[in-house]
Each structure stands twice: as structure tokens, then as C-alpha cells.
Amino acid sequence: MSITTKFNRVKMGLESIRYSRGKLEVLDQLLLPLQTKYIKVDGVEDGWKVINKMQVRGAPAIAIVGCLSLARELLDDNSSDKKVMRQEIEGKLNYLVSARPTAVNIKLAAEELINLSNRLSADELVTPEEFKEVFIASIENMLTRDIQDNKAIGQHGCDAILRNLEGDGQVRVLTHCNTGSLATAGYGTALGVIRSLHAAKRLEHVYCTETRPYNQGARLTAYELVHEKIPATLIVDSMVAALMHARSISCVIVGADRVAANGDTANKVGTYQIAIVAKYHNVPFYVAAPFTSVDASVASGERIKIEERPDTEMTFIGDKRIAAPGINCWNPAFDITPACLITGIITEKGVFAPDKLKDLLFQ
Ligand code: MRU
């Protein structure tokens, strides 16, 4: 039985990553929602490409697929020299990190794995075969860990939101981008909290933004919500203020690509303006993210590198040009929401005010 199938017995939604030892496939998210097609990932080169082209995306999924592509490649490696293995592992992990620069999960996972390979290489009692086995097993463990973390995030988020809920006891949520099963090993982060609220029968409605220019909301989140039969409505990004004015929104829940030590958060472009609008309308604004998205080495959001994507993501939808030829474009994939706009950061360890994150990181 594949590792992912084992976990999908628990209701977690769509399967974006299919893995069993020696075989890795990812659901091509460029083709969703119209086509469901899995792409084979046979090694690090394929891993880098599917991440860079955004056939797989979402901070946790990027890290897991990148590392699993290395596990897949190592399986065919018959090297008997641990020092060579260690060197190659480091080079390949650094290469994978370069595929997309903002999400920190893959960088932190790479650092952890490089440390592990240093230890295994230095330990004279470890044979090359044992090195390979321990290393691959440690990567495979990321799938389980991510799902466990997401379920804990879902529960903590659901409890905190219900505890602070005012009004009629039913929750109306706004979310941005895609943070569900497609963006993780399963269950999702912000969408995991929404899933938990739905399971608790306290979710009245979800509003999801279209999320231009890549349309993760319209194509992927809407797809997951319809698939899960969660009551939901799609809005375009410029409708957020109108929505908060017209309907009583209980809270906003979004994901994160990197959380700085002071709680500033990088997430899909558009998140910052939603946080500003939420503050104006007194709507609590939550960020749901595992600690694998928290970068203790970065003091504030100012220091987070923001990925800029090709103009064609803005000027074309599929094969169809929608913008006037010759126009200049600016296409940052993420923006920074300052900690002062964030009500709480929902993690697998509980829900924290952004300024409390530091105490946890450096205790
Ligand atoms: O460019 P993307 O689609 O990779 O951006 C994804 C997001 O911004 C998500 O909110 C974030 O990665 C968290 S996914 C659980």
C-alpha cells in the first residue's frame, strides 16, 4: 500500500502527492480543474521542474515533493562512498531550494536533511546502505508529519475561532489562495481549519477569492470545496471590501509561505490588502501554518525574498491573451502582512499572538 493511500483512509480530500518507495507522482495543478492528470517525478531534475512551473505548489507540498524527488533519485544510486553521497545530497538539496525562493519549508527541510547526512557520513558505524535507508525513511516521514500537523492546526484553529465567536454561533470565513489537500500532504492548513469547522457543524459558509493571477482560489480551492461539499462562494479579489461590508464575515483564515520571527507573514499576493480591509471592518485575521513555515533566522518580513513570476501569468489565461500587447507588468507572487494586522497564528502547537512567536522560537 502506498504511504499516501494509507493516510487517505482518514478524510483528507484530494491527493496531490502519490508516493510509494521508488514511485513519485504529483497531480498536475496547472490542468485543474478541467483535467486530473498525474505526472511522474523520477528524480531531482523533475522535482525542480514541477515546483518551478507550479504544477505542484503550496509551501508544504513544495518541500515534500522536492525532498521526495531526492529520495526517489537516491534509491537508484549505488554509490558506496558516503562522503560522495553526502556531497551530492547537499548540492541537490540546494538546487531544489532554488526552484521557488519565498516558501521557507523546503529550505528548512533541506537544512535538516543536510545535517542528517553530515551525521550519517561522519558515523563510522553506519554503512552506505544504512545511510541511504535512514535518509530516505526520514524524507518519507515528512508525509506523515505534515498530515499530523495539519490535523492539529485544524483542531486548534476550530477551537480558537469558536471560543472567540460573537453573534449567532455560525462561522462565515473568507480565505485566499489555496491551502488545502492540494497544497500539502493532505487535509490542509487554513483549509484544514475550515474543514474542522465544517466537521464540527459550525461552518455556515466559506468565501474564497479568485486569487489572481494564477487563480489558485478559482481553480483549486473552489475545486476542493465543491469536492468536499462545503458550502462556498467564489468572489474576485477586488470584492473583499464589498463582501465584508455586505455580509457578516466571522474571520479570515489564510496560509503562509514564511513567517518571520516577529510574526510578519509572507503569503500569496493580495493577503496584505485583505488584512487591511479586515482590520477596518473589525474582522479577526488568522494565519494557519505549521512550524515548518516559521523562519527564526529572519527577524521581520522586510528580510523575506519575494518571488517575481513571469509576465505571461498576468497577460494570458491559458493560451488566451487578455492584456494589451506591449504593456509592462509587475508580478510579485507574494506580499508581506505585518504582524500588527494578524489576530493569531494557528500552528500545530496552538494559536499564538504574533508577538508571542519569538518566545516559542528562542526558549
Ligand atoms: O504560489 P503558491 O500557489 O505556491 O502560493 C501558495 C500560498 O500562498 C499558500 O497560501 C501557502 O503556500 C500556504 S499552503 C498550505
pLDDT at residue 303 in the model: 95
pLDDT higher than 60, residue 212 = yes
pLDDT at residue 10 in the model: 42
Length of the chain: 363
Give me ligand 1 centre to Cα 186, in Å: 14
Active-site residue, selected from the candidate residues 257, 264, 295, 335: 257
Ligand 1: atom nearest CA of 189 is: 15
Number of Cβ atoms within 10 Å of the Cβ of 75: 14
To test the pocket of ligand 1, the residue of 149, 179, 265, 347 to mutate (highest count of ligand atoms within 8 Å of its CB) is 179
Average pLDDT over residues 106-113: 98
Ligand 1: atom nearest CA of 100 is: 4
Pick from 96, 186, 86, 84: which is nearest to 135 by CA?
86
Residues 301, 295: contact at Cβ < 8 Å?
no
pLDDT band of 358, cuts 50, 70, 90: confident
Q: Which residues line ligand 1 (CB under 6 A)?
A: 57-60, 103, 177, 179, 183-184, 189, 216, 255-257, 267-268, 333
pLDDT at residue 1 in the model: 46
pLDDT higher than 70, residue 11 = no
Give me the residues paired with residue 89 across strands: none
Task: Indicate if the alpha-carbon torsion angle 153, 343, 285, 270 is positive or negative.
Answer: negative
To test the pocket of ligand 1, the residue of 16, 50, 56, 178 to mutate (highest count of ligand atoms within 8 Å of its CB) is 178
Give me the residues paired with residue 233 across strands: 207
Domain 155-361 matching CATH 3.40.50.720: the answer reads: no
Give me ligand 1 centre to Cα 85, in Å: 32
Mean pLDDT for the chain? 95
* Model pTM score: 0.95
pLDDT higher than 70, residue 53 = yes
Contact residues for 33 (Cβ-Cβ < 8 A; gap 6+): 219, 220, 222, 223
Phi, psi of 327 (to 5 degrees): -70, 140
Residues 353, 259: contact at Cβ < 8 Å?
no
pLDDT at residue 361 in the model: 84
Q: What percent of the chain has pLDDT over 90?
A: 91
Q: Is 283 helix (H, G, I), strand (E, B) or coil?
A: coil
To test the pocket of ligand 1, the residue of 17, 108, 177 to mutate (highest count of ligand atoms within 8 Å of its CB) is 177
Contact residues for 66 (Cβ-Cβ < 8 A; gap 6+): 47, 48, 51, 93, 96, 97, 99, 106, 109, 110
Q: Which cell numbers in the block locate residue 160?
A: 480558537
Domain boundaries, the chain: 17-146, 155-361
Distance, CA of 216 to CA of 345 (rounded, Å)? 22
pLDDT band of 8, cuts 50, 70, 90: very low
pLDDT at residue 166 in the model: 82
pLDDT higher than 60, residue 7 = no
pLDDT at residue 14 in the model: 85
Q: Whose alpha carbon is nearest atom 15 of ligand 1?
A: 179
Ligand 1: atom nearest CA of 176 is: 10
Ligand 1: atom nearest CA of 268 is: 8
Give me ligand 1 centre to Cα 247, in Å: 26
Give me ligand 1 centre to Cα 256, in Å: 7
pLDDT at residue 226 in the model: 97
Distance, CA of 270 to CA of 259 (rounded, Å)? 16
Average pLDDT over residues 185-192: 97
Distance, CA of 188 to CA of 143 (rounded, Å)? 12
- CATH code for the part of the protein at 17-146: 1.20.120.420
pLDDT, tens digit, for every residue of 29-44?
A: 999 999 999 999 999 9
pLDDT, tens digit, for every residue of 62-105?
A: 999 999 999 999 999 888 899 999 999 999 999 999 999 999 99
Q: What percent of the chain has pLDDT over 70?
A: 96
Active site residue 257: yes
pLDDT at residue 79 in the model: 86
Task: Indicate if the alpha-carbon torsion angle 306, 103, 58, 178 is positive or negative.
Answer: negative
What's the gap between Cα 219 and its chain centre?
A: 16
Average pLDDT over residues 215-221: 98
Distance, CA of 25 to CA of 155 (rounded, Å)? 29
Do 17-146 and 155-361 fold alike per CATH? no
